[in-house]
Amino acid sequence: MSLQTLQLPIIGVESTVEYAQLTYQQTLSLFDRTANLQINLPYAQGSATGVVEGEFRQRDISDMADMRVLLSINLRGAPSMDMDGF
């Protein structure tokens, strides 16, 4: 039985990625419980260079990434209060 070495078809890769995210968060009352709604809108910009199967390749990207929405509800503890009750 002989051992074979695995050679990847990609060599000499260099890449940079810059990332920014815009986030909106709101605290609210939901079913008489404190809840948080968070919306994240990320943006990514980057470039990569390298040799793929013996050919030099370069790729530049600049686009919005996947938006995320998070809703969390406090199930334990005191119920949510308005400003007067607080």
Is residue 73 assigned to a domain? no
How does pLDDT run across 36-46, given as a tens digit for each residue? 999 999 999 99
Distance CA 3, CA 41 (A): 48
Average pLDDT over the chain reads 90
Is residue 75 assigned to a domain? no
Domain containing 29 equals: 10-66
Is residue 30 assigned to a domain? yes
Is residue 54 assigned to a domain? yes
Contact 25, 36 (CB under 8 A): yes
Q: What is the mean pLDDT of residues 19-36?
A: 93
| Number of separate domains in the chain | 1
How sure is the predictor about 54, in pLDDT bands with cuts at 50, 70 and 90?
Answer: confident
Residue 1 has pLDDT above 70, yes or no: no
- pTM reported for the whole predicted model: 0.63
Is residue 39 assigned to a domain? yes
Is residue 82 assigned to a domain? no
Q: In this structure, is the dihedral angle defined by the CA atoms of residues 59, 6, 12 and 17, taken in order, positive or negative?
A: positive
Residue 31 has pLDDT above 70, yes or no: yes
